Amino acid sequence: MTSISAQRPPVVAAYGARIEGLGAPAGLALRGAEAWPAIAFTTELTAEPLPAASEVRDDRATIVNPAATLLADRARDEVRVLSAEPLPEADLLHPCLWPVAAVFARWRGAETLHAGAFAGPGGDGAWAVMADSGGGKTSFLATLALAGVEVLADDLLVVEDGHCAAGPRLLDLRPGVAARLAISDRDTTSVRSTSRERLPLAPCDGRWPIAGFVELVWGEEVRIERLAPGEGLAALARQRRVLGLGAELHQLLELLDRPVLRFSRPPEWASAADAAGRLLDAIAVVR
């Protein structure tokens, strides 16, 4: 897609919000996000007992994360990040950022999905990628990135007015996945207590029209089928984030104007790139 913001310098942003208070990490470099609402972050060390469970309300949220506890204040557009030890920047970008970004997105009326996205061939916008746990979403997005496809998000897709917001410029791969994808150790960084290998992504445009959706499933052979509207709605609804704040059903229904494809492929690494290529060929002609 030809970018209308290609000449603009990136700003510190992700998931539909500008991020203040975390410096200017390369992983939060998006173009065209100057007008996004801002969320101010502060990091605090504490020896006090931290909450044991998450709670999301209409005005405040407590999010217990593996890396820290995050206290979100809707009225102030602020997040306090509490931890017993200093957090590395890598953990602030992920896994700390997406849960609070999802809550703030829901507070402002956007819909949120457990999904990633990539730029579709032919400049038709973004294709969302959904999968259940263990469905290979991040490794599939990494396969696309290695093939030169622009990957826009992983883990959280913020959807509003038929558009989606790009996420941090990174993909966190499970142990062993980088090696299976033939990614050099020089191209990744060990993060999250060495339990993930982080593949950096280049800055991209922050806002993309949604062209369609892909639901990943495992199967014996490569198969691509277009889901009926009812099946498509069920696929989207299964991947909703922040269930405690209700649902923007009108937004989900409007998204069904776009194709929802179910992409089955075998779980063999040797065929991953070929399967991804076949999907790209298929969506290039979907209308």
Domains in the chain with CATH codes: 11-110 (no CATH), 113-283 (3.40.50)
Rounded to whole angstroms, what are the CA distances from 265 to 2, 238, 268, 276?
31, 20, 9, 9
The DSSP bridge partners found for residue 157 are 113
Q: What is the pLDDT of residue 247?
A: 84
Q: Give the chain's residues under pLDDT 70.
A: 1-7
Q: What is the pLDDT of residue 1?
A: 46
What is the C-alpha separation between 224 and 10, in angstroms, rounded?
36
- What interhelical angle do 272-283 and 137-146 show, nearest 10? 80
pLDDT, tens digit, 9 for 90 and up, residues 224-263? 999 999 999 999 999 999 988 988 888 889 999 999 999 9
What contacts 286, CB < 8 A, 6 or more positions away?
Answer: 212, 226, 259, 261
